[in-house]
Amino acid sequence: MELKADSRDDIDSWKEVNLIYNAALRQMETKMEILNDEFRHVHQYNPIEHIKSRIKTPESIVKKLKRHDYESTIENMVKYVNDIAGIRIICSFTSDLYRIADMIKEQRDIKVLALKDYITYPKASGYRSYHMIITVPVYLSDRIVDTKVEVQIRTVAMDFWASLEHKIHYKFEGDAPEYIKRELVECAGMVANLDARMLSLNEEILVIGQDAASGG
């Protein structure tokens, strides 16, 4: 499966599109690293544990276009597929998720197209994450291209759960046995409880540290 490229110009366009999406990801990674460094400098704390990024494969893009009854062309890919470039930001605590989302929103050259808060409103499967579709400007020699990037922000525990769900989804081609689905939902509840308890514990540690610093 591949995107249609019937002429030399189309092939060059695909190469250029790939270049642009990779450039958008590098820009977002750099932005997040700078914000993390600034946060460490000001607050002596890193809200970001690590960052993952990827470009969707042509096969996955074609499947998504077909699923929505679009012809597999580069034009449709750019217009209708929002997650060709994806960046995942992994945090320690749920409070960091919204802090990072706010920092992204405040970047003047970033436009937020859509938000989905699967932490406050988890999917039926138990999936939790904070999703943003944004555009970031890519500066080429002759023009500026506002390029879509999907941003997923989640805790380490949420990411571990999502990785297992992803493996199960592909293992059973989206039709896992009911008992496995139930186990996943139960595990998602345990992950949410763990995140809440870890956040509470971290806040108590901060309060004790402040009291000790003030001589209380």
According to DSSP, the β-strands at 144-155 and 85-91 are parallel
Q: Which range marks the domain in which residue 127 is found?
A: 8-158
Q: In this model, does residue 171 exceed pLDDT 90?
A: no
Q: In this model, does residue 66 exceed pLDDT 70?
A: yes
Confidence (pLDDT) at 52: 95
104 domain residue, yes or no: yes
> What is the chain's mean pLDDT, rounded?
90
Listed range (144-153, 180-189, 190-199, 207-216) with the worst mean pLDDT:
207-216
Return the amino acid letter for 34: I
Confidence (pLDDT) at 70: 94
**Percent of the chain whose predicted confidence (pLDDT) is above 90:** 72
* Phi–psi pair at 131, nearest 5 degrees: -110, 140
Q: In this model, does residue 4 exceed pLDDT 90?
A: no
**Percent of the chain whose predicted confidence (pLDDT) is above 70:** 93
Q: Is the separation of the CB atoms in 132 and 151 below 8 Å?
A: yes
111 domain residue, yes or no: yes
What's the number of domains the chain is made of? Answer: 1
- pLDDT (mean) for 13-36: 92
193 domain residue, yes or no: no
- pLDDT (mean) for 10-28: 85
Q: In this model, does residue 185 exceed pLDDT 80?
A: yes
Question: Cα(90)–Cα(154) distance, rounded to whole angstroms?
Answer: 5
Q: 0.85 cut: is pTM over it?
A: yes
DSSP states of 26-79 as a string?
Answer: HHHHHHHHHHHHHHHHHHS--SEEEEEEEE--HHHHHHHHHHTT----HHHHHH
Question: Cα(110)–Cα(129) distance, rounded to whole angstroms?
Answer: 20
* Phi–psi pair at 116, nearest 5 degrees: -140, 115
83 domain residue, yes or no: yes
Q: In this model, does residue 1 exceed pLDDT 50?
A: no
112 domain residue, yes or no: yes
How far, CA to CA in Å, does 151 sit from each of 14, 24, 200?
23, 12, 26
Question: Quick one: residue 188, left, alpha or beta (phi over 0 = left, psi -120 to 50 = alpha)?
Answer: alpha
Q: In this model, does residue 3 exceed pLDDT 90?
A: no
Q: Is the separation of the CB atoms in 165 and 146 below 8 Å?
A: no
Q: Residue with structure tokens 């990072």? A: 100
Q: In this model, does residue 2 exceed pLDDT 80?
A: no
Digit-coded pLDDT (tens) for 70-122: 999 989 999 999 999 999 999 999 999 999 999 999 999 999 999 999 999 99
41 domain residue, yes or no: yes
85 domain residue, yes or no: yes
Q: How far apart are the first and last CA of the chain?
A: 66
The domain spanning residue 39 has which CATH number? Answer: 3.30.460.10
How far, CA to CA in Å, does 160 sit from each of 17, 91, 157?
31, 12, 5
The structure tokens listed for 62 are: 């074609």
201 domain residue, yes or no: no
- pLDDT (mean) for 45-49: 89
